[in-house]
């Protein structure tokens, strides 16, 4: 078939998952949220009381976890050992710790291997931090999406303000801290692949961004 792979990277709260889901829907492709995999591992380690410093224990435990990503009615469902943890992995506790576990080299290798398997047959829209640089360096379309930290915090705040006990300022601080850890880590840091299209979405609507990516796919090849 003429299916291609699409890699979407960028910092926290840039709207990658919403956009990736819309692009996947428009093209009848499979959406893979790699952040959800790091979040699922983090949720499980917190449950088991395993600290990010215990990297061998993290790796052993992660090797014995079954992580599944399944399409659901309102977005993707995430299952750990058969249990639906889609809501739990979005908690503030997971937000605060996920970038620490994501620094562990062995854990990254394990998840990257799974991610590559998911993309073997093409027709995948994958979002994350290292998709264009490390996971799928041969993806036919690569996008690096960002927006100002204020705008990213504001978008996230509008999504969660009714349910979460957090202020806009705290959220902005959390996002900036996660960006710092993701950009500065040694293994596959967050950065734009040389052949990725840069999209600053600060002043763009969801449909403008979605359309921009779909037209990159149309002009591909």
DSSP code at position 196 = P
Alpha carbons 189 and 181: distance in angstroms, whole number: 9
Question: Of the two residues 159 and 215, which places its CB atom closer to ligand C5P in the complex?
Answer: 159
72 among annotated binding-site residues: no
Alpha carbons 121 and 135: distance in angstroms, whole number: 14
- Asked whether 202 and 14 are in contact (CB, 8 A), the reply is no
Alpha carbons 17 and 153: distance in angstroms, whole number: 15
Question: Of the two residues 86 and 99, which places its CB atom closer to ligand C5P in the complex?
Answer: 99
Q: How far is the CB of 1 from ligand C5P (least distance, A)?
A: 26
- Asked whether 52 and 58 are in contact (CB, 8 A), the reply is yes
The length of the chain in residues reads: 221
167 among annotated binding-site residues: no
Question: Of the two residues 34 and 201, which places its CB atom closer to ligand C5P in the complex?
Answer: 34
The radius of gyration of the chain's CA atoms, rounded to the nearest angstrom, is 17
Instruction: Spell 89-125 as b/e; 16+ CB within 10 A means b.
Output: bbbeebbebbbbbbbbeebbebbbeebeebbeebbbb
113 among annotated binding-site residues: no
Q: How far is the CB of 117 from ligand C5P (least distance, A)?
A: 15
Q: How far is the CB of 56 from ligand C5P (least distance, A)?
A: 19
Question: Of the two residues 103 and 210, which places its CB atom closer to ligand C5P in the complex?
Answer: 103
Q: In a 3-state reduction of DSSP, which class is residue 174?
A: helix
18 among annotated binding-site residues: yes
Q: How far is the CB of 183 from ligand C5P (least distance, A)?
A: 10
Question: Of the two residues 138 and 219, which places its CB atom closer to ligand C5P in the complex?
Answer: 138
Which residues sit at the interface with ligand C5P, rule CB under 6 A? 12, 34-35, 38-39, 98-99, 102, 128-130, 178, 182
Q: How far is the CB of 59 from ligand C5P (least distance, A)?
A: 15
26 among annotated binding-site residues: no
122 among annotated binding-site residues: no
- Asked whether 13 and 7 are in contact (CB, 8 A), the reply is no
13 among annotated binding-site residues: yes
Which residues sit in the known binding site?
10-18
Which residues sit in the known binding site for ATP?
10-18
């Amino acid at each position: 078939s003429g299916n291609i792979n699409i890699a979407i990277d960028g910092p926290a709260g840039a709207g990658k998952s919403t956009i990736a889901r819309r692009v996947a829907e428009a093209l009848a492709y499979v959406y893979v949220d790699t952040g959800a995999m790091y979040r699922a591992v983090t949720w499980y380690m917190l449950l088991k009381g395993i600290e990010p410093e215990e990297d061998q224990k993290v790796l052993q435990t992660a090797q014995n976890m079954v992580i599944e990503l399944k399409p659901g009615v309102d977005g993707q469902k995430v299952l750990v050992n058969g249990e639906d943890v889609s809501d739990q992995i979005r908690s503030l506790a997971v937000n605060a710790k996920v970038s620490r576990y994501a620094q562990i080299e062995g854990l990254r290798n394990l998840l990257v291997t799974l991610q590559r398997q998911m993309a073997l047959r093409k027709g995948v829209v994958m979002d994350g931090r290292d998709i264009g640089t490390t996971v799928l360096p041969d993806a036919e379309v690569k996008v690096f999406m960002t927006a100002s930290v204020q705008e990213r915090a504001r978008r996230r705040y509008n999504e969660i303000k009714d349910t979460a006990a957090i202020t806009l300022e705290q959220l902005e601080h959390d996002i900036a801290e996660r960006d710092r850890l993701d950009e500065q880590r040694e293994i596959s840091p967050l950065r734009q692949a040389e052949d990725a299209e840069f999209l600053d979405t600060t002043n763009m609507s969801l449909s403008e961004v979605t359309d921009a990516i779909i037209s990159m796919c149309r002009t591909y090849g």
